């Protein structure tokens, strides 16, 4: 499982929509094998984009309303938010490079001092 922060319906607005930096949201379930396989990938992505984007998780069993709100029909589904709006979406397993590239398109580069 990924070490990404768990977000719920109660914290989604603050952690995702109101975020000053892009947020990659992993819609997952604990019983989902591909979701578990994606965990280490998300940890690598989070490390690569630290300071300019963040990675969080939403358990679709605990928050089915959020999953429905963002048309999550299959898991894992990764939804990228920028400035409070959906900026990208991918379904299924993804490579770290693919996710970082998706985030790079909407994030500002980290300052040299932050690297």
- What is d(CA 11, CA 16) in angstroms, rounded to the nearest whole number? 8
Helix intervals (H) in the chain: 12, 33-49, 64-69, 96-104
Residue 35 designated active-site: yes
Separation of alpha carbons 54 and 74, rounded Å: 22
CB-based contact 54:19 (threshold 8 Å): yes
Q: What is the DSSP string of 25-40?
A: EEEE-TT-HHHHHHHH
Catalytic residue among 25, 35, 42, 87: 35
Catalytic residue among 19, 21, 29, 32: 32
32 is known as an active-site residue: yes
Positions annotated as catalytic residues are: 32, 35
């Amino acid at each position: 499982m990924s070490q990404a922060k768990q977000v719920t319906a109660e914290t989604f607005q603050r952690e995702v929509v109101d975020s000053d930096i892009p947020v990659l949201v992993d819609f997952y379930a604990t019983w989902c094998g591909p979701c578990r396989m994606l965990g280490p990938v998300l940890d690598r992505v989070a490390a690569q984009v630290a300071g300019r984007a963040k990675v969080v998780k939403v358990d679709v069993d605990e928050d089915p309303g959020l999953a429905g709100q963002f048309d999550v029909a299959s898991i894992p589904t990764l939804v990228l938010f920028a400035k409070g709006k959906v900026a990208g979406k991918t379904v299924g397993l993804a490579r770290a490079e693919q996710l970082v590239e998706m985030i790079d398109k909407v994030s500002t580069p980290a300052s040299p001092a932050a690297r």
